[in-house]
Each structure stands twice: as structure tokens, then as C-alpha cells.
């Protein structure tokens, strides 16, 4: 997909788009891939087909997704406004690809230099990071207030919206990893959603049949 499929990129002035485009290269992200330092370079990924989860992962503890990025977002923007972490530095918050797809990658340092030269780019990055804070807070509230049935419905609805498709490749094991629960809990909750006619799944292939209904199912009872 073209970089113009990224909603964040499309908000930039044309002259800044040209500079960002020249600094980017197309990449294909694979489900399960961990994004971070590539050799000596930290990169930002303008997503155009892939989705990337923000996951808290610590040894000895269950993982938990606290956000999801899609075609309106860029993964790794935090490295633009702060110094990139040293190699192999520990961090509980990971950027892990949820669904495979296309993206455009560029050096975080290069994007920082462009942002310092072009206020419109800096303002867009700052606004997107603030929106991400709000998004993470909303997902965290779901963890605290919703049961597993509603949490699964919310994550599937969010996944469809971010991926811009109702056809998703998501295994029960992966969903358990995202929601920080046992796999059997996902199996039971998914079964309930299927019985309600909201989705169909088979061997990791999941099709959402009623997205508005799924969104309603994600609300507190």
C-alpha cells in the first residue's frame, strides 16, 4: 500500500509529505514481530496495512495489551520526542505486531530533525501522542471495569476498526496473550459471541458478522 493510506501522513502539508516520503522505505511487518531497535537505528513505522499492539510484558507475569495502532497511526513516535533507549535496555512496554501487513519505516532521529524544522509535523506528532495517552487510558479502564466477554468484544471491535477489515487472523492463544487471561477464558467468551451471531471463527480465521452488535456487547452490562 502507498504511504498515502496512512491517516497520520495524510494530515501533513504537501511539502512535508514529500520530505517524509523520501526518508521512508516500505516494509512488511509479520504477526508476532517485536518492533524496536534495528541494529543501531530506532525506527518509526507509519502503518498502512499492519496493526501493532502496545503490550506490557514482564518476565514471570501475564502479558496485557493496553493499546492498538492501525492505519491512522505510527508506531514508535515516542522515540521522536525523547532520546532512543540504549541497545538491549529493558522496557515493560513492547510494540508487537498483531496482524501482518504493510508499513513505511524511517529513522526516528531523521523524523525528529524534520519535526524541529517543520512546526506542522511537530504539532501533529504531539497531538497523536496525546491521543495515544487517551486511547491507552480507555483500554486500561476496560480491563478494570468489564468482564472477559465484554473485553473480548471490545478488543475484536477495535482490531477490526484499526485493521479496516472484518476478516481477522487471530488465534485464541494470541487473544489470551493480548487480554492477559487463560486461553480457556477466550474460548468460552468467543463461543458466547458466536452463539449471539456476532462472529464466526475457525482455525484462527475470525470473521466479524455484526460489528455494531459487537460494539454493543463491549459495553458494561
pLDDT attached to residue 15: 95
Three-class secondary structure of residue 209 per DSSP? coil
Q: What is the pLDDT of residues 11-24, one digit of tens each?
A: 999 999 999 999 99
C-alpha closest to that of 178 among 189, 167, 192: 189
Contact between 29 and 52 under an 8 Å Cβ cutoff? The reply is yes
Spacing of C-alpha 40 from chain mean position = 24
Q: What is the pLDDT of residues 74-130, one digit of tens each?
A: 999 998 988 766 656 556 789 999 999 999 999 999 999 999 999 999 999 999 999
Residue 48: all three cell numbers together? 498502512
Residue 155: all three cell numbers together? 478488543
Question: Average pLDDT of the chain?
Answer: 91
Residue 33: all three cell numbers together? 514481530
DSSP state of 85: P
Task: Check whether 61 has a pLDDT greater than 60.
Answer: yes
pLDDT attached to residue 84: 61
The DSSP bridge partners found for residue 52 are: 69, 97
Q: Using CA atoms of 109, 123, 90, 169 in order, give the dihedral in degrees to the nearest 10.
A: -100
Query: What proportions of the chain, in percent to the nearest 5, are helix, strand and coil?
Result: 45, 25, 30
R_g over Cα of the chain: 18
DSSP state of 86: P
Percent of the chain whose predicted confidence (pLDDT) is above 70: 94
Of the listed ranges 78-87, 140-149, 183-192, the one predicted with least confidence: 78-87
Contact between 174 and 96 under an 8 Å Cβ cutoff? The reply is no
pLDDT attached to residue 85: 60
DSSP state of 149: H
Amino acid at each position: 500500500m502507498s504511504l498515502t493510506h496512512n491517516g497520520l501522513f495524510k494530515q501533513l502539508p504537501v511539502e512535508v509529505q514529500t520530505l517524509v516520503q523520501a526518508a521512508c522505505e516500505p516494509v512488511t511487518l509479520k504477526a508476532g514481530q517485536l518492533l524496536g531497535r534495528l541494529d543501531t537505528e530506532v525506527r518509526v513505522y507509519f502503518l498502512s496495512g499492519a496493526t501493532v499492539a502496545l503490550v506490557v510484558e514482564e518476565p514471570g507475569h501475564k502479558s496485557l495489551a493496553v493499546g492498538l495502532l492501525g492505519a491512522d497511526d505510527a508506531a514508535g513516535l515516542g522515540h521522536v520526542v525523547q532520546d532512543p533507549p540504549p541497545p538491549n535496555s529493558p522496557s515493560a512496554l513492547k510494540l508487537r505486531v498483531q496482524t501482518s501487513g504493510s508499513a513505511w519505516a524511517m529513522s526516528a532521529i531523521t523524523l525528529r530533525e524534520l519535526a524541529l524544522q517543520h512546526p506542522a509535523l511537530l504539532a501533529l506528532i504531539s497531538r497523536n501522542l496525546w491521543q495515544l495517552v487517551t486511547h491507552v487510558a480507555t483500554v486500561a479502564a476496560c480491563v478494570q471495569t468489564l468482564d472477559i466477554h465484554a473485553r473480548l468484544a471490545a478488543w475484536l471491535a477495535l482490531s477490526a476498526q484499526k485493521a479496516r477489515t472484518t476478516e481477522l487472523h487471530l488465534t485464541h492463544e494470541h487473544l489470551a496473550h493480548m487480554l492477559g487471561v487463560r486461553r480457556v477464558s477466550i474460548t468460552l467468551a468467543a463461543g458466547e459471541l458466536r452463539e449471539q451471531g456476532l462472529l464466526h471463527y475457525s482455525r484462527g480465521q475470525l470473521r466479524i458478522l455484526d460489528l455494531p452488535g459487537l460494539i454493543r456487547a463491549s459495553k458494561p452490562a
